[in-house]
Copies of this chain bind each other. A is one copy, B any other.
């Protein structure tokens, strides 16, 4: 059935990702760790730098990104907008502190090692964004999405993602040699935040209308398919508003959470998420090149050392940010929830490399910091978790 594209390779990679994710997820759980840690680790093993069963490239990446979009849609479906708004102020405080502290730390370390301002700015910026994918998944696994801590982390991670993409737009422009007008920053920020508000405000009545219309249909699987289509369209609109597709999918989920068929949508969605979300985490793991992490190779050491320093300031900055939350909450848990950088840090690093803003050694160091914070977060969250709500 194939000419020109290798469907066999796609089938095999998807199968390997699924089997690996479930086997290692199970092993992780038996060792008292979140399943997502096993998925990330098996991704390293299946990726091109070890076994090569899950290649990096558009075909698997497409499935991975659809997976994380559907995951955030599901998380949104399980999120109560009022609860999220109620923790808005502490969440924003955590988000802002969680961007400023790692930025300052990353900037200072890079400058201290003799790199110029542009490199230091890019490194600092790379450490600002929390991975909403990792965080949401671990919170969901621990059953603490609905706790006050869970809501603060989620709110702060969404704010981080929205603002992180504004920062990316700005530093990319600087790296490309362009000037950054204050007006552009304000416009880009306003667009991203405005989109989120609009998506929820318009999404709620639209979602109700959708559910009403769909209720009259008789074709098989129409509610699940139309809900997914709704999420995909809002995710697409988010991209058009310079925001992230996962932010759009999350907003779509929150909108449909307010319809009377929320539970049916969730039931139809779960099996799809179970298959596609692990592909995302395996893919993130596959992006780790273990060869660069070998300390026995002398060439690797400078980047590893810088990476460890960046991982440390990146970790401490986000962890400390958790203590900016107030109310009766476990602040250390919130801090831990902000730690993973995951996919967003990778995007910063790869834009930095592509625009020549980051020398390759610094690029590798940023990757080390991104992966170290991503892998340390799930066990830390498990250790510090509050009682499920």
Interface residue ranges of A1-45 to B (CB < 8 Å): 1-5, 7-8, 10-12, 14-15, 18-19, 21-22, 25-26, 29, 35
Contacts of A8 in B (CB 8 A): 236, 239-240, 245
Contacts of A10 in B (CB 8 A): 62, 66
Q: How many residues of A contact B (CB 8 A)?
A: 66
Is B11 touching A235 in the complex (CB atoms < 8 A)?
A: yes
Contacts of A226 in B (CB 8 A): 18-19, 22
Chain copies in the assembled complex: 2
A232: nearest chain-B partner, CB-CB: B15
Interface residue ranges of A278-334 to B (CB < 8 Å): 278
- Is A271 interfacial (CB 8 A cutoff)? yes
Is A225 touching B274 in the complex (CB atoms < 8 A)?
A: yes
Is B26 touching A229 in the complex (CB atoms < 8 A)?
A: no
Q: Compute how far the CA of A69 lies from the CA of B14 in the bound complex, rounded to whole angstroms.
A: 13
The smallest C-beta distance from A245 to any residue of chain B, in angstroms, reads: 6
- Is A224 interfacial (CB 8 A cutoff)? yes
Is A18 touching B246 in the complex (CB atoms < 8 A)?
A: no
Is A347 touching B3 in the complex (CB atoms < 8 A)?
A: yes
Is B217 touching A22 in the complex (CB atoms < 8 A)?
A: yes
Is B350 touching A236 in the complex (CB atoms < 8 A)?
A: no
The smallest C-beta distance from A133 to any residue of chain B, in angstroms, reads: 10
- Is A268 interfacial (CB 8 A cutoff)? yes
The smallest C-beta distance from A116 to any residue of chain B, in angstroms, reads: 24
Is A354 touching B18 in the complex (CB atoms < 8 A)?
A: no
Is B245 touching A350 in the complex (CB atoms < 8 A)?
A: no
- Candidate in A59, A61, A269, A271 with the most chain B CB atoms within 10 angstroms: A271
Q: Compute how far the CA of A245 lies from the CA of B232 in the bound complex, rounded to whole angstroms.
A: 28
The smallest C-beta distance from A59 to any residue of chain B, in angstroms, reads: 6
Is A18 touching B232 in the complex (CB atoms < 8 A)?
A: yes
* Seed contacts A3-B347, A3-B351, A4-B58; 12 additional CB < 8 Å A-B pairs: A1-B244, A1-B344, A1-B347, A3-B350, A10-B62, A19-B229, A25-B222, A26-B217, A35-B220, A221-B273, A267-B271, A269-B271
Cross-chain pairs A/B with CB under 8 angstroms, 16 sampled = A3-B350, A3-B351, A11-B69, A11-B236, A15-B229, A15-B230, A18-B225, A18-B228, A22-B219, A26-B222, A29-B218, A58-B58, A59-B62, A141-B220, A224-B271, A225-B274
A positions within 8 Å CB-CB of B: 1-5, 7-8, 10-12, 14-15, 18-19, 21-22, 25-26, 29, 35, 58-59, 61-63, 65-66, 69, 141, 217-222, 224-226, 228-230, 232-233, 235-236, 239-240, 244-246, 267-275, 278, 343-344, 347, 350-351, 354
